[in-house]
Amino acid sequence: MIADIYTAGDFKPADREELRRRLISSYGLDEDHAAFAELASHVPAMREALAVLGGMRQSCPEDHFEIAVIALLLQNVTIRRTTQMTRNLLAHYGHLVHFDGITLRAWFTPDEIAHVPPETLKERDRLGFRAKSLPHYAAYFRDHSTEDLKAAGNLMEAVQEIKGVGPYTAAVIASHASRDPAAFGIDVWNRKILARRLLDADDAAPETVMTRLNELFPGYAGTAGLYLVEHEYLTNPVASLLRSGPDALTAWNAALEQTGT
């Protein structure tokens, strides 16, 4: 992997090492998927996905707080609304970063947003019901470092101490930021995909789907879920990417609104 680094100040060896660790962790560059591949090769429902996506890893450049906020902003809403809320938060509390002629907005820290009252988050940032939860998220991750979270005996149980965090959001945090191959966030859309693939049913309860994943892929339920869902999106896209022009954009936006994703 090659990464171009831009810095406005001194870039010390310790900074370089920290960045190296972050990149390796964010993209799973040191993970060995041989055990998962061997296990999955014996499950008929997984063979096609494994053949197409073999070697795929979870990508999560965000830290625990950032992925938790993203999960919160994705709850019961369309992508369009999630984008609107994210843009508002970054514009009001984020930081502008300039490099190589490019300007980006960087995430705010937990400490920088923990003091913002829910009323402001609701009215100015348009967060809706999420406005009550975000200060609790910020306060928790302000007081619990990445090292604290890594040391937690059961991260999914630990983060559910946060008001507004349930099993789904906890699983997203664990599977993405902590790269737990056994964790997987079951939502209304992916549970239908997994029910069809693994249970020969149109739908099933999240607990039923997760139980089946654990039975077939012990220790790798999350990785298996990721492979099956991503393969479904590749083979049965919401809107064809082969179409071009305004019609393709219209079809894509209509599909997003219909699915609520």
pLDDT in tens, 60-117: 889 999 999 999 998 888 889 999 999 999 999 999 999 889 999 999 999 999 999 9
Q: Which domain holds residue 149?
A: 61-178
Residues of the chain with pLDDT > 90, as a percent, come to: 65
Question: According to the model, what pLDDT value does residue 246 have?
Answer: 57
Residue where a domain stops, chosen among 120, 151, 178: 178
Read off the pLDDT band of 128 (50, 70, 90): very high
Does residue 5 form part of some domain? Answer: no
Read off the pLDDT band of 212 (50, 70, 90): very high
Within this chain, do residues 142 and 241 fall inside the same structural domain, yes or no? no
Within this chain, do residues 212 and 120 fall inside the same structural domain, yes or no? no
Within this chain, do residues 204 and 254 fall inside the same structural domain, yes or no? yes
Q: How many domains does one find in the chain?
A: 2
Within this chain, do residues 187 and 216 fall inside the same structural domain, yes or no? yes
Within this chain, do residues 166 and 224 fall inside the same structural domain, yes or no? no
Does residue 8 form part of some domain? Answer: no
Residues of the chain with pLDDT > 70, as a percent, come to: 91
Within this chain, do residues 165 and 185 fall inside the same structural domain, yes or no? no
Question: According to the model, what pLDDT value does residue 78 have?
Answer: 87
Residue where a domain stops, chosen among 122, 149, 178: 178
Read off the pLDDT band of 7 (50, 70, 90): confident
DSSP symbols for the chain: -------SS---HHHHHHHHHHHHHHHTTT---HHHHHHHTT-HHHHHHHHHHTT------S-HHHHHHHHHHTTTS-HHHHHHHHHHHHHHH-EEEEETTEEEEEPPPHHHHTTS-HHHHHHTS--GGGGGTHHHHHHHHHHS-HHHHHH-S-HHHHHTTSTT--HHHHHHHHHHTS--TT-----TTHHHHHIIIIISSS---HHHHHHHHHHHSTT-HHHHHHHHHHHHHHHS-SS-SS--SHHHHHHHHHHHHHHT-
Question: According to the model, what pLDDT value does residue 261 have?
Answer: 43
Within this chain, do residues 129 and 65 fall inside the same structural domain, yes or no? yes
Largest Cα span, the chain: 57
**Averaged pLDDT for residues 130-137:** 96
Who has greater pLDDT, 200 or 153?
Answer: 200
Mean of all residue pLDDT scores within the chain: 89
Does the model's pTM come out above 0.85?
no
Does residue 114 form part of some domain? Answer: yes
In the chain, the amino acid numbered 164 is G
Within this chain, do residues 223 and 261 fall inside the same structural domain, yes or no? yes
Residue where a domain stops, chosen among 178, 210, 238: 178
pLDDT tens-digit readout, 167-199: 999 999 999 998 999 999 998 889 999 999 999
Within this chain, do residues 242 and 226 fall inside the same structural domain, yes or no? yes
Does residue 134 form part of some domain? Answer: yes
Question: According to the model, what pLDDT value does residue 160 have?
Answer: 93
pLDDT tens-digit readout, 230-245: 999 999 886 665 555 5
Question: According to the model, what pLDDT value does residue 3 have?
Answer: 83
Q: Is the predicted pLDDT of residue 256 greater than 60, yes or no?
A: no
**Averaged pLDDT for residues 225-234:** 94
Within this chain, do residues 190 and 239 fall inside the same structural domain, yes or no? yes
CATH number of the domain that 105 lies in?
Answer: 1.10.340.30
Question: According to the model, what pLDDT value does residue 77 have?
Answer: 85
Who has greater pLDDT, 134 or 237?
Answer: 134
Does residue 4 form part of some domain? Answer: no
